[in-house]
Amino acid sequence: MIEKIISFSIRSRLTVLAVAAVLFGWGLYSLETNSVDAIPDLSENQVIVYTEWMGRSPQLVEAQVTYPLVSNLQGIPEVKSIRANSMFGMSFVFVIFNDDTDIYWARTRVMERLNYAQRLLPEQVVPTLGPDGTGVGHIFWYTLDAPGYDLAELRTLQDWYIRFALQNVQGVSEVASFGGFQKQYQIAIDPHKLNFYNIPLSTVLQAVQTNNNDVGGRTFEVNGASYLIRGLGYIQSIEDIKKIPLGTFNSVPVTMQDVAAVQTGGELRLGITEENGEGEVVGGIVVMRYGENARAMIDRVKTKMTEVEKGLPKGVKFKVVYDRSDLIEAAVATLREALIEEILVVSFVILVFLFHFRSALVAIITIPLSVLIGFILMNLFNVESNIMSLGGVALAIGDLVDAGIVMVENAYRNLSEGEGVS
């Protein structure tokens, strides 16, 4: 079989060159489109179910949330195992699927079961799916460099402007915010005043809910024209909260400011984010979607950040904290250097010992063409380029070098002996 291939190649040189040219072009295309990352993704094929029930103990969360969810998620097709973790105010359920299961098919099956399990959970407890990313999906971190700005203002800017803008980038699964203070309206109720005015706490809670809502009405016709009627009731400021009526005391209206102190403040924090010991910072983590090209996605994120930065307040700039593209470029550069160096060494060895340019040309063409064919196969079988796979390619170049030198020397010797016989 090998003899027939060699004989056909010798007789049809143009065909061999055409096939080599096609493979070369296809290999270059595969090299550009192949997914590139620095770290091999060895994480399990999992779907995370996150449920929040703030203020409850881990034992109560385990009994009322985690156990019903785990019980109802049993029996999903292609599931390998289910793990769970209950903590103060939060529940995490990890549904591990087989490695060959499509991640989005798995998320759909889990969502179907969650719709059924919702009725077994406490009121106002809603389980949600985690982002469609992996354990190595945190590929880009940034902070906001803004001297003179308040941490609450920066966190608001991050949550309501920057995060939404970056989430529109193709390949981004989630932009997680960290640091600063999440702004909220706080009502500090004085229990002694509630007791004095004989107003129960439930009345205060209901008053806040009912006084923070828009209502709709019908149309009102005047001179043949219809006008839509609606009631504007959303809270706009602290003064609106202070003026919420709670009832009467001796025919005197009692409002929220009579029984509580109303203010704006930050949500309770369990930690802080500090950078290089220079103080607290606000920023975000860009999480890559499952199966995306890390290098291409980071480039798109940087382009979007350049656009977003134009709309930031004066003095606010992005500061990159972690950029995995640097490690990716270093891994690719290592392969490139190894390929160029070994081609030069092989060519030099063949030229010195054989002093035959055409023999050296065989090795020069064979080595890069073999590497490009490898990238074609990696694309066809969805194998990602990372430190491990690129390192394997670099090691394989050494085997190609040995085989190239042996085959070229053997062919050159046989041709020389044939010419001497004739």
In this structure, of 3-12, 125-134, 396-405, the range with the lowest mean pLDDT score is: 396-405
Any residues with CB less than 8 A from the CB of 328 and at least 6 apart, and which?
36, 37, 38, 294, 295
Is residue 41 within 8 A of residue 384, CB to CB? The reply is: yes
Is residue 397 within 8 A of residue 346, CB to CB? The reply is: no
Q: What DSSP letter does each residue of 144-168 carry, written as one string? A: EE-TT--HHHHHHHIIIIIHHHHHT
- For tokens 């997680």, the residue is 176
Distances 216 to 45, 226, 234, 237, 265 between C-alpha atoms, Å: 47, 15, 13, 22, 32
Is residue 95 within 8 A of residue 70, CB to CB? The reply is: no
Residue 320 has pLDDT above 80, yes or no: yes
Confidence class for position 219, pLDDT limits 50, 70, 90: confident
Confidence class for position 166, pLDDT limits 50, 70, 90: very high
- Decide: helix, strand or coil at residue 263: strand
Any residues with CB less than 8 A from the CB of 405 and at least 6 apart, and which?
346, 349, 350, 363
- For tokens 């550009």, the residue is 32
Any residues with CB less than 8 A from the CB of 114 and at least 6 apart, and which?
49, 69, 127, 129
What are the tens digits of pLDDT across the range 265-275?
888 887 888 88
Centre a 10 Å sphere on the Cβ of residue 150 and count the other Cβ atoms it contains: 13
Contacts within 8 Å (CB) and 24+ apart, 388-391: 388/40, 389/40, 390/331, 390/332, 390/334, 390/335
Confidence class for position 245, pLDDT limits 50, 70, 90: very high
Q: Which two tokens stand for residue 201?
A: 């706490």
In this structure, of 4-18, 178-192, 318-332, 343-357, the range with the lowest mean pLDDT score is: 343-357
Residue with the larger pLDDT of the pair 61 and 34: 61
Residue 422 has pLDDT above 60, yes or no: no
Distances 208 to 226, 235, 266, 388 between C-alpha atoms, Å: 33, 9, 19, 58
Give the chain's mean pLDDT. Answer: 87
Q: Which two tokens stand for residue 299?
A: 């480039």
- For tokens 């509630």, the residue is 194
What are the tens digits of pLDDT across the range 46-83?
999 999 998 899 999 999 999 999 999 998 999 999 99
pLDDT, average across residues 379-388 = 82
pTM reported for the whole predicted model: 0.78
Is residue 364 within 8 A of residue 344, CB to CB? The reply is: no
Q: Please report the pLDDT score of residue 391 as a whole number.
A: 76
Confidence class for position 421, pLDDT limits 50, 70, 90: very low
Any residues with CB less than 8 A from the CB of 46 and at least 6 apart, and which?
94, 95, 96, 97
Give which of 140, 122, 112 is closest to 49, Cα–Cα: 112
Q: Please report the pLDDT score of residue 327 as a whole number.
A: 84
Q: State the angle between helix axes of 357-380 and 325-353 in degrees (0 to 180), rounded to the nearest 10.
A: 150
What is the share, in percent, of the chain residues with pLDDT greater than 90? 44
Q: Which two tokens stand for residue 1?
A: 């079989």
Q: Please report the pLDDT score of residue 419 as a whole number.
A: 56
Give which of 82, 64, 36 is closest to 328, Cα–Cα: 36
Please state the φ and ψ torsions of residue 318, each to the nearest 5 degrees. Answer: -85, 145
Q: Which domains does the chain have, with CATH numbers?
A: 2-38+328-421 (1.20.1640.10), 44-133 (3.30.70.1430), 134-182+267-323 (3.30.70.1320), 190-262 (3.30.2090.10)
Distances 206 to 115, 201, 210, 280, 282 between C-alpha atoms, Å: 28, 9, 6, 37, 35
